[in-house]
Amino acid sequence: MVERNSEGRESARGVLAGELLRLREASGRSLAKLAGETNYDRTYLNRLETGERLSKLPVMEALDKVYGTGELLVGLWKLARLDAFKDKYRLFMRYEAKATSMQKYEIVVPGLLQTEDYARVVLSSAPAPISPQELEESIAARLGRQELLNGSPAPSVRIILDESALRRPASDRKIWHDQLRRIADAADAPHLTIQVLPFAAGVHGLMGGALSLLWMGDGSSVAYLEGNKSGELFEEPGQVERYRLAYDRLRDLALAPPDSAAFIKQLVEDSKP
């Protein structure tokens, strides 16, 4: 049966699965042969062809190479992973994927900076029960978003991290240490600036939620305000400007980038297993 999305249209995930099956059959390969060429388990590859699993980017890159399809499967995968997100967030992600500049305020470690192990801890701690398969799908979708940081050219990104995001560790000390090190490494990237908003900054206008401001190449911009259980996308210029000013005030309260980097690196040292 062809998988369809909530609007009744054939899903990108269904298209990807169908293309994977078509390419293998057209090439005359068995699943066993394909498994040998890619070093991925044949059962796993079969589940990709039936749409039961959504892979990670390296799998699609390997299959594009085997089939000589350029970046066809990678492109379909980028569309398919959007199916894992709710409608409003999916629209935000479409803007995010083409943004040339981003400014974010986060009260938790943002998905763009999460390690796979930390993402697994966070996603498995959700109040609603989640099956192992759903968990792996969510992890793949979350990590897939990080590819936008590796674009050419990569977008300019500034993230203000609330100190609380850096003070709430995972129960596994190594996982938390690796996560803090990932944030510290990201702060050294030329296109990424991280600032820490210390507890000492006190009460501010964006408490209780996360904010993303995105600018496109044509000069347009959007704001996305996210709470614990909901998110709101703002496209009207006046509303976006209001949140931009709130962000600017918050940036003035945050530690300077060099001081923020030193703060995070000290946390990395303190968290060593």
Q: What is the CATH number of the domain that holds 203?
A: 3.30.870
Of the three residues 37, 54, 82, the one that is the final residue of a domain is: 82
Residues 55, 138, 13: CA angle, nearest 5 degrees: 50
Which of 35, 50, 82 corresponds to the end of one domain? Answer: 82
Domain assignment present for residue 2? The answer is no
pTM: 0.72
pLDDT in tens, 211-240: 999 999 999 999 999 876 668 889 999 999
The 10s digit of each residue's pLDDT in 53-109 is 778 888 999 999 999 999 999 888 887 876 655 555 777 888 888 899 999 999 999
Can you say whether the dihedral through the CA atoms of 87, 93, 99, 103 is positive or negative? positive
Average pLDDT over residues 199-213: 91
For residues 141 and 189, membership in a common domain is answered with yes
CATH of the domain at 54: 1.10.260.40
Asked if 72 and 23 count as a contact pair (C-beta separation under 8 A), the reply is no
Statement to judge: residues 71 and 136 lie in one domain: no
**Domain check: are 27 and 91 in the same one?**
no
Helix axis angle, 57-67 to 12-27, nearest 10°: 40
- For residue 63, CA distances in Å to 133, 221, 247 come to 22, 36, 42
Question: Within this chain, do residues 26 and 57 fall inside the same structural domain, yes or no?
Answer: yes
> 40 and 156: one domain?
no
Work out how many domains the chain is built from and give that number: 2
- Identify the residue whose tokens are 């000290």: 266
Residue 6 domain flag? no
DSSP string, 148-164: GGG-SSPPEEEEEEEHH
- Measured distance CA(235)–CA(247) in Å, rounded: 16
Who wins on pLDDT, 259 or 137?
Answer: 259
51 and 169 assigned to the same domain: no
User: Whole domain around residue 54: which residue ranges?
Assistant: 12-82
Q: Which of 220, 213, 208 is nearest to 247 (CA)?
A: 213
Residue 139 placed within a domain? yes
43 with 164, same domain? no
Q: How far is CA 238 from CA 150, 213, 241, 242, 248, in A?
A: 31, 13, 5, 6, 15
- The reply to whether 78 falls in a domain is yes
